[in-house]
Amino acid sequence: MSDLYALELRVRIRDALSDAEAAGLRRHLGLGPGPAGPAATAASLPVAYGDGGADGGSGTEDDEYPLLGGRGPAHRIGGTLTADLAPDGTVTARQELHPDDFHDVGLLLAWLAARADSPGPTVVVGTLRFHESSVARPLTVTGGAVDWPA
């Protein structure tokens, strides 16, 4: 796990989420169980499975894991891992992220960017820095795709 990144996320959602969307988002933030069955599909949130598949991959719902659910001491980036959904609709997270998780987390970030209170062709969703660097760069979503580092 030498290629870890520090992801610092902050997105304020402009409109109220449906109950299914809010439950699915809370699940991905490690704040509780997400919707099961048809509600998960209705929420249109990405689903990540323990085998690394996404959006209906070869895993099962029992294998689903929260994308930004890390808690406690960080292994390589220093500080603490956290994630939260504030009552005003602001989503914040500080997570260690491996490039193998960029695809699945990117789906969630694109979902959040589409609902951000600062709409536009490019939405800043937070910052990203390589764990050995002291310089974080803005993490953006443009046209539904995350602009990950090269």
- Based on the number of CB atoms within 10 Å of its own CB, is 124 exposed (0-12), middle (13-18) or buried (19 or more)? middle
Two tokens at 36?
């099961």
- 28-65 per-position pLDDT tens digit: 999 987 555 444 443 466 655 554 444 444 344 445 67
Of 93, 12, 101, 94, nearest in space to 51 by CA: 101
Please give the pLDDT value at position 149: 82
- 104-149 per-position pLDDT tens digit: 999 999 999 999 998 789 999 999 999 999 999 999 999 999 999 8
